[in-house]
């Protein structure tokens, strides 16, 4: 068959594929189904978890493996060919208030190995090593600031022509288009470093049967192997591998943070890699902080249908039987314990189920209490624009699905409490 014939045949298959029926999203609390949540302090065999030793040695590994097997998939080990090279170190960045550093990450000894760029801003004129926020970004490192010195990504980028991104390639016009989400100067002025990596450098965000990005080094995943969220989280751990060897970074005080699907990624990175000192989820919704059993806004079936590459294939078994899932997202949050974790919602972001995000944080609190730490003490969602909690923090901000200066102010305050 010719190439043209194969393309035509593939298009015909796609057109004729049956489309699963998906009910309209529910935004009515009265229509939230009845559900029972799994007790984080009870083993699957029914035996109680009564000590921190029980949690660390038995229950935490049990929960972690259930998420690996049924939701995110099992990730690969750190590659033997991993290399880091500092390719830029400018002490005059941002008008002289910062040092801008770029690190080229090579993932394997292979001609076709993916390469990624880690962008780091360090406060200038302050004493390090610095506590650090490590994050993934959506459109390339160069979009977080108008700083002309940031290299423009050469990787695949979602096609957004209004931002100078054409044919999935970023251009100069896209520099700084997402800077409203990145309080770079505020972070630096508070004495923190900021490190960020473009998620498309790790794994391009589209369904191609796992043949691009990091996946091409390991072959097609099995049904219980990593999807893209686990792969992005794996990439964050590789960034932390570098940060552990940067004398300007306090690698024992690194907070992993993410927004939306990258908020899901941050939660899973914090669960998989206990080197992260603090975990922050911003508007992460279904598959992130929101309880799956509530079926409010985006659901397991909807997310698996729209984004089949995000999770492991096993997760699709629960599209129509979410109550049979052996985990729910309060257990994901509990995996951060005893490290501090912060969950944030937005009033207009109904798709992400703000109440479900809050309830996950609340129902993870018993694990923190096992460590004699404070979780969330009230099952009532707090008023808007008001941060609550101690070792588990939460706020719901007025507005839409976004990251704002208000959000960053809460994250900085929370980090001051726990990392300084």
Handedness of CA 383, 135, 375, 391 (dihedral sign): negative
The encoded tokens of residue 120 equal 């780091």
Res. 411: pLDDT tops 60:
yes
Indicate which residues carry an active-site annotation.
260, 401
Contacts of 332 (CB under 8 A, 6+ apart): 67, 267, 268, 271, 288, 289, 360
Res. 368: pLDDT tops 80:
yes
Which CATH number does 65-77+125-419 carry? Answer: 3.40.50.1820
Residue 322, SS3 per DSSP: helix
Question: Using CA atoms, how far apart are residues 212 and 235, in angstroms rounded to an integer?
Answer: 14
DSSP 121: E
Give, in order, the Cα–Cα distances in Å from 143 to each of 73, 136, 153, 213, 364. 30, 12, 9, 21, 35
DSSP 59: I
pLDDT tens column, 315-363: 999 999 999 999 999 999 999 999 999 999 999 999 999 999 999 999 9
Contacts of 404 (CB under 8 A, 6+ apart): 180, 181, 397
CA angle 368, 373, 378 (to 5 degrees): 75
Tell me what pLDDT residue 372 has. Answer: 98
Give, in order, the Cα–Cα distances in Å from 371 to each of 48, 51, 63, 138, 338. 15, 8, 17, 36, 7
pLDDT tens column, 289-316: 999 999 999 999 999 999 999 999 999 9
Q: Using an 8 Å Cβ cutoff, are 81 and 110 in contact?
A: yes
**How confident is the model over 178-194, as a mean pLDDT?**
97
What is the pLDDT confidence band of residue 60, given thresholds at 50, 70 and 90? very high
Q: Using an 8 Å Cβ cutoff, are 273 and 285 in contact?
A: no
Helix axes 60-67 and 261-272, enclosed angle (nearest 10): 140
Total count of residues recorded for the chain: 420
Question: Using CA atoms, how far apart are residues 195 and 249, in angstroms rounded to an integer?
Answer: 10
Tell me what pLDDT residue 5 has. Answer: 43
Tell me what pLDDT residue 88 has. Answer: 96
Q: pTM for the complete prediction?
A: 0.94
DSSP 56: I
pLDDT tens column, 61-107: 999 999 999 999 999 998 888 999 999 999 999 999 999 999 999 98
Question: Using CA atoms, how far apart are residues 93 and 70, in angstroms rounded to an integer?
Answer: 45
What is the pLDDT confidence band of residue 159, given thresholds at 50, 70 and 90? confident
């Amino acid at each position: 068959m010719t190439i043209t014939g194969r393309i035509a045949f593939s298009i015909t298959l796609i057109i004729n594929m049956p489309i699963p029926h998906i009910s309209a999203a529910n935004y009515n609390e009265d229509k939230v189904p009845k559900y029972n949540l799994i007790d984080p302090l009870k083993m699957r065999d029914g035996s109680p978890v009564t000590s921190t030793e029980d949690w660390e040695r038995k229950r935490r590994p049990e929960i972690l493996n259930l998420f690996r097997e049924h939701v995110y998939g099992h990730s690969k080990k750190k590659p033997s060919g991993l290399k880091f090279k500092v390719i830029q170190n400018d002490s005059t960045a941002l008008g002289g208030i910062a040092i801008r550093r770029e690190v080229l990450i090579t993932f394997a000894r292979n001609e076709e190995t993916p390469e990624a760029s880690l962008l780091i801003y360090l406060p200038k004129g302050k004493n390090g090593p610095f506590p650090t926020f490590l994050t993934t970004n959506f459109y390339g490192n160069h979009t977080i600031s108008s700083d002309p010195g940031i290299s423009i990504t050469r990787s695949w980028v979602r096609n957004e022509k209004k931002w100078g991104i054409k044919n999935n390639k970023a251009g100069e016009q896209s520099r700084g288009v997402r800077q409203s989400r990145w309080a770079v100067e505020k972070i630096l002025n508070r004495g923190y470093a900021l490190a960020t990596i473009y998620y498309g450098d790790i794994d391009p965000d589209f369904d191609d049967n796992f043949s691009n990005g990091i996946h091409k080094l390991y072959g097609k995943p099995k049904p219980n192997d990593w999807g893209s969220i686990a792969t992005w989280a794996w990439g964050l751990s590789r960034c932390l591998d570098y940060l552990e060897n940067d004398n300007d970074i306090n690698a024992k005080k690194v907070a992993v943070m993410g927004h939306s699907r990258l908020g899901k990624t941050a939660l899973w990175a914090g669960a998989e890699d206990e080197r992260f000192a603090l975990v922050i989820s911003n508007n992460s919704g279904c598959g992130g902080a929101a309880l799956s059993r509530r079926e409010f806004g985006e659901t397991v079936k909807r997310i698996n249908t729209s984004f089949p590459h995000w999770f492991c294939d096993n997760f699709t078994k629960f599209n129509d039987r979410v109550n049979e899932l052996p985990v729910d997202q309060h257990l994901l949050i509990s995996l951060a314990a005893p490290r501090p974790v912060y969950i944030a919602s937005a009033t207009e972001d109904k798709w992400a189920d703000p109440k479900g995000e809050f309830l996950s944080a609340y129902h993870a609190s018993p694990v923190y209490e096992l460590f004699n730490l404070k979780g969330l003490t009230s099952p009532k969602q707090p008023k808007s624009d008001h941060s609550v909690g101690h070792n588990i923090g939460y706020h719901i901000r007025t507005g839409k699905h976004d990251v704002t200066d208000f959000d960053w102010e809460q994250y900085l305050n929370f980090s001051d409490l726990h990392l300084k």
